[in-house]
A and B are shown apart, each in its own frame.
Chain A
Amino acid sequence: MEILRYAIYRFGTMLMTLLVVSVLIFAIINLPPGDYLSNQIAELQATGQSAGVAKAEFLRKEYALDKPLWQQYMIWMGFMPGPHGFSGMVQGNFGWSFEFDSPVADIVGDSLWLTVLVNLAAVIFVYAVALPLGVLAAARARSWVDYTTAFVGYLGLATPNFLLALILFYYGHRWFDLPIGGLMAPEFEGAPMNWDKVKSILVHLIVPTFVIGTAGASAMMQRLRANMLDELGKPYVETAIAKGMAPSRMLTKYPLRVAFNPFVADIGNLLPSMISGSVLVSVVLGLQTIGPTLLTALKTQDMFLSGFVLMFVALLTLIGTMISDVLLVLLDPRIRYEGRDA
């Protein structure tokens, strides 16, 4: 049951990290001078609409924006009773979006699981592409396979994600008749889940997955290739060849298993950049993930909304990293349970 204890320990550190992250995020969203409501009040006073001012003042009281910052933080998190008792993030109340004039939970709603879906698809894409290509590039080092994958990989790393998205979208539509924009056909939005909706989502996922995953896949592939090349030079590989093992069986049975560890551990490094990428790509392609929401929220200083989205993105990353750490321990008994050396 060592593994269970490790998982619990890892979960505990994740919660601690999340706590620190929440402080950080709260500090960042409060960096710009003023807040949404005080800006609105100033604007309303400038135009002489007194009715709106009263409402904004009421909202300020309602959401404790008139309190000192540290109290605002505690109330936001739900560690301290606000105007309505304990009701914050911890209690599952994510606050109010001033820009859209409705609860944050209603606005993000569906887009949360779509965000998870897009990122999950990208992770699967990275593994599905990087694993065979990395092994192939190592096994056939200095052949055209190696050079082509390296070239495409470098291009993938160097092209700005958002442009790649635009271009692929355009040509994907033109040549393969892939749909443009969004994550599902418009008629399925808000419709209950059924087979056609799933199909529509899958088709819409192709380009975003490709765009988000390319950079990660090429980085992962290069690392796997380097690891494999290190292993391929070792005597046990020579022994296996001398025994007359079939090359493919030899590769998967010995060197791949050794080279596989960093491959799993890497997801922790990869995930933050992929989620970054997904936010950017979602904005460009108009996917209904939380990316576009985050951008509007940040631009309008809608602090509860942007705070929640940032927290969610951080949580997603932390959970992904945690899963990869636990997986790594499962895969490799040599790894100590006290946590990896950073």
Chain B
Amino acid sequence: MTNLPDGRYVDDEPFDPQASLLELERKDLDAPNWLLVWRKFKTHRLGLISGIFLLIAYGLIPFAGFIAPYGPNQRFSEQLYSPPQSIKLFHEDEFVGPFVYPMTSEANLETFQWEFKPDTSRPLKLKFFCEGSTYYLAGFIESNRHLFCASEEATIFILGSDRLGRDIFSRVSYGAQLSLTVGLIGITVSFVLGIFFGSVAGYFGGRVDWTVNRVIEILRSLPELPLWLALSAAVPSNWSPVAVFFIISIILGILDWPGLARSVRAKFLSLREEEYVRAAEMMGASSGRVIRKHLLPNFMSHLIASATLSIPAMILGETALSFLGLGLRAPAVSWGVMLNDAQNLTSVEIYPWLAIPMLPIVVVVLAFNFLGDGLRDSLDPYQQ
């Protein structure tokens, strides 16, 4: 490296126009496509971090019962509206390891609120891998081990407790199960419908195309939420929470496909004129085969990126529906159902921790947005 007087740096090596370029090209030619995409994706910091975060979040879903110290509907009638308890390490300047002070509640007859006083003389150590309420790991393995719990005389409400004295942290981790999967099911429905209608319209053109296009236009021009509301109001109230959950996610998907179908159709319109499509047709491939084997793989990655970008809308949609009382209903636990408690100004003012489920929603939605942006930017590895 030589520093020129005008401040530029020049490499001392003699310039070899062939060597570096050839080497790079050879490497890139040999590399499979996914490697190139991955290489580019790695440079997108925010997208990478979001992707890892989401992987961890989804990976932890089956272990929600293990992470939560209590069951989602376990009530502590002595501890209504308990504020978040902090986990401390030092008691009177002495290290004792993670512990909590036991809380005693007392009704204040002036303000009609529960007041909580920590008993700072008795540090009660947290237990790890302890036994507690029974739950099903990943839905079928019965277990009663929890990652951590308080000793018998104390409670541990990291994020406080709600109106009925249920631990909000436990409910947030159980709620993740429904809130995170609602988007996945919804997007699957929307994906299948979108690809089917988009490819049929784009490939066959003509009257089919016209019809599909009108349907897309009409669905896109309608405000989603009132339709969601109307459709979910139609779900019978005597159905089990699981059935309601599936129906809600399907409803979210049914109204989401037009956007996807539109981009699929646009791609098909340009791709169906390519030579390889004609070649396949001449060799006698059926329309279905041409669509599936020759056309769709071309932009599957783009579709995945755009699907990633529309998952947040579904998560927010579920939240909104449950918040209004038309989506999932108790005893099902989702973040939207929990926010239902934070519906009025009282809770914002006096019990702000009831609105805590908002944080995971915001974080997950942001993560999906960043991941989608990162994927979209890195899908075309040859573009500089």
Residues of A within 8 A of B (CB): 17, 20-21, 24-25, 28-29, 31-33, 154-155, 157-163, 166-167, 169-170, 180, 268-269, 271-273, 275-277, 279-280, 283-284, 294-295, 298-299, 301, 306, 309-310, 313-314, 317-318, 321, 342
A273 CB contacts on chain B under 8 angstroms: 223-224
Contact assessment for A33 and B230 in the assembled complex, using a CB-CB cutoff below 8 Å: no
Among A24, A166, A180, find the residue whose CB has the most chain B CB atoms closer than 10 A. A166
Q: What CA separation (Å) do A342 and B214 show in the bound complex?
A: 9
12 examples of A-B residue contacts, CB within 8 angstroms: A21-B218, A28-B227, A157-B369, A166-B344, A272-B223, A275-B223, A279-B223, A294-B226, A295-B229, A295-B326, A298-B230, A317-B223
* A317 neighbours in B (Cβ, 8 Å): 221-223
A306 touches B230 (CB 8 A): yes
B82 close to chain A: CB less than 8 A = no
Q: How far is the CB of A269 from chain B (nearest CB, A)?
A: 7
Q: Which 9 A-B pairs have the closest CB atoms?
A: A276-B225, A31-B234, A298-B233, A158-B365, A275-B223, A276-B223, A272-B223, A32-B234, A28-B230
| Interfacial chain A residues near B312, Cβ < 8 Å | 157-158
Q: What B residues does A24 contact at CB under 8 A?
A: 218
Cross-interface CB contact of A154 among B229, B326, B369, cutoff 8 Å: B369
Residue of B nearest to A28 (CB): B230
Query: B320 near A162 (CB under 8 angstroms)?
Result: yes
**Minimum CB–CB distance for A169 against chain B, Å:** 7
A-B contact sample (13 more), CB < 8 A, given A310-B226, A342-B217: A17-B221, A20-B214, A32-B236, A159-B362, A160-B361, A167-B348, A180-B345, A271-B223, A276-B226, A295-B326, A298-B326, A301-B233, A314-B223
**Chain B residues whose C-beta falls within 8 Å of the C-beta of A154 in the assembled complex:** 366, 369
Is the Cβ of A163 less than 8 Å from the Cβ of B358? yes
- The answer to the question of B355 belonging to the interface, with a C-beta cut-off of 8 Å to chain A, is yes
**Do B362 and A314 have beta carbons less than 8 Å apart?**
no
- In the bound assembly, the distance between CA atoms of A294 and B227 in angstroms comes to 11
Indicate whether A158 sits within 8 Å of B369 (C-beta atoms), given known contacts A28-B231, A31-B234: yes
Is there a chain A Cβ closer than 8 Å to B216's Cβ?
A: yes
- Tell me the bound Cα distance from A306 to B231 in angstroms: 12
Shortest Cβ distance from residue B226 to the other chain A in the assembled complex, whole angstroms: 5
- Complex CA–CA separation, A314 to B236 (angstroms): 25
